[in-house]
Structure formats: C-alpha cells, structure tokens
Homo-oligomer: A and B are copies of this chain.
Amino acid sequence: MWIRNAWYVAGWASELSAEKPLGRTFLNEPVVLYRKNDGTAVALEDRCCHRLAPLSLGRIEGDALRCMYHGLKFDSSGACTEIPGQDRIPPTMKVRAYPLVEKQKLLWIWTGDPDKAREEDILDWPYLDSPEWSYKPGYIHYKANYLLIIDNLMDFSHLAYVHEKTIGSQSLAETRAHVEHMPFGLRIHRILDNDIPPGFIRELKNLGDRVDRWNIYDWHVRGNILAMDSGFARLGTGGHAGDRSNVVEFRHLSVQTPETEKTSHYFFGHPRDIALGNEILDDRLLKTVTYAFDEDRAMIEAQQKVLDITPDFKMQPIAHDSAIFQARRMIENLVH
C-alpha cells in the first residue's frame, strides 16, 4: 500500500561512487544505483534479465554496468549492449531503468509510470545544498511499515513520552497543532510563544531566558516528505512572522521511502543557520537527532510486532490523531 507515482528519496548523493554500484530495494523493487563517467547517477533494475543475478554485484565500466555472472553489459538506459560470445542482441535483453534525479544532495527515484515523472515536481529544498546552512546527512533503517512512521511524525503528543528524557517537553506535548490543507499535503503550525529555550540553543546564542518559538511543518503526501521551518527568537520579536535578524533557525527534512511492506528507509537532515562549518557541532547534532529518532524507532518497531501478530486489531482514535487521519486519508486517495 503505497503511492507509485511519486518521487522518493533513493539515497544521499554522497553514497554513490563511480567505483562500486549500490543495491537497494524501494517499494519492493530491487534497484542498483551507480554513477556514469560524467558523474550522472543511474538507477537500473537490480536483476539481470538473463539469469536474475543482481547487477549490484556487477562492475561499472564507463557509463555501463556489467553483470559479473556471465558478463552481459547494460547501458544506462537498461539496454543490453554486449553478450560475451554472441553477436546478435535481442531487443528484449534489457533491464528496467528508473528515472533518477540528483538534486540538492539527494537522489530521487521514480518507480511509477515513467510518463508521469516530471522533474519539476521534485521538492525544492535548498538548505541541504547551501553554504549558509550546516548539517550532516542522516539515515536510519526501520523494521516497520512507513505508515507507522508517518503517524509518528504527524503527531506531537508523543514527544513528552517517547522523548521524555531527550527532546520532549510538557509544553510541546500540550500545544495543539494547527493543521492546514495544502495542495501538496498538510501544513502544521506549532507556535510556542514565551517558552524556555533548550540548553543547546542557549549555547549557540544568547536569546534571553524565554523565547518565541515556532515549528512549521510541510508534509508532502507524494514521497512521504516532512520539511520543517523552525526557530527561536527573542521574546516578543514576532517569531516566525517577525524579525529574523537575531534568531536561531533550523530546517529539518525527514523522508520515508518504503523498502518492503514491513521495512523502510528513513533519510533526514537537520541544517542550522549558525556556527556554519563547525563539524563537531554537525556531528553532535546528527548524534542527538539520531538518538531521538532511535527512541521513536524502538516504539514503532515494537508496534509493528504487535501488528504482525494481530493485523486486524482496530486502532481507536484520540483527539491528537487528527493530522494522522488526514495524512492517511490523503495517501489512500492517491493509492486507489
């Protein structure tokens, strides 16, 4: 159960080299990723049409990929261009090529109807690729269906419990989010005026003992993308809509790409506009965010196990689930 016609994140651009192909499964389809001579990233079916050997065990030769079982060579369109010991190559000898776009440090793949893949539909999010923002790329592998992760992201009441000892706070858990329907999905506003800033914000900048705080989440139904604009401003200076000359700002991107029905890829980045190029801080923030996401993961994978043994159990909604249900309905509408 997933949307086929969508751009999904296939990986970080930095994961791909021209030396070694990378095998990865998206939406149950085995895919091999590699770079051509000129650096262009390519995505092919990771299954030789001859005897089903994975091409990810193969060898990059210029712009082509050679299967290292019997030596068949495929160009970046998936067409077989060489069969050792055989002159004629039947046109049926080919593997599927997937539209793949490298944009702003991410690789985006399209596993749906190729005629509907329009590059301009890919998220424009410059913060991953800008000298004015600093971060390190993050990745978590999940033993859970991607919908359970979306549920988690659509809901803030879990912050005070799952993240009780880390990023949670009672004020966050109690702030009712404002959910707005957008053409791309949902926009969720959470404004916390007059809140106590977390310790690490104090370290980065002296904004006073209390701050105005905002989190604006844009959730894109196609691709399972959550893009956040968040920040901390001096008390009474207007917060999100106000003067941003003396604030600490973060952006955040979380993307879930289904791997199988019961496993998911989770890519994330958490750029900041302060202490640019401070790699120690990059590492520390990546570690902090990963730690918090691992708290989620422990709960969600446990939830998946309960679902596995009682798949027909009916969940009961609470008031905080409003965004969850809106998100799930949007997905269902695009699946069917």
Query: Which residues of A are at the interface with B, using a C-beta cutoff of 8 A?
Result: 28, 30, 46-47, 49-54, 57, 66-72, 83-86, 90, 92-93, 151, 155, 157-158, 160-162, 164, 173-174, 176, 298-299, 302-303, 305-307, 309-310, 313, 315-320
Tell me whether A86 and B52 are in contact (CB under 8 A): no
Q: In the complex, A309 Cα to B85 Cα: how many Å?
A: 30
Q: How many copies does the complex hold?
A: 3
CB distance from A321 to the nearest CB of B (A): 8
- Ranked 10 nearest A-B pairs via Cβ: A86-B319, A68-B161, A52-B306, A71-B161, A70-B157, A49-B316, A54-B302, A53-B303, A83-B318, A70-B158
CB distance from A29 to the nearest CB of B (A): 9
Tell me whether B318 and A173 are in contact (CB under 8 A): no
- Chain B residue at minimal CB-CB distance from A23: B302
- Chain B residue at minimal CB-CB distance from A317: B50
Q: In the complex, A161 Cα to B68 Cα: how many Å?
A: 5
Question: Can you list 20 A-B contacts (CB < 8 A)?
Answer: A30-B309, A47-B313, A49-B315, A52-B310, A53-B303, A53-B306, A54-B303, A54-B306, A57-B299, A57-B302, A69-B161, A69-B299, A70-B157, A70-B318, A71-B157, A84-B160, A85-B174, A86-B318, A92-B316, A93-B318
Q: In the complex, A70 Cα to B160 Cα: how many Å?
A: 8
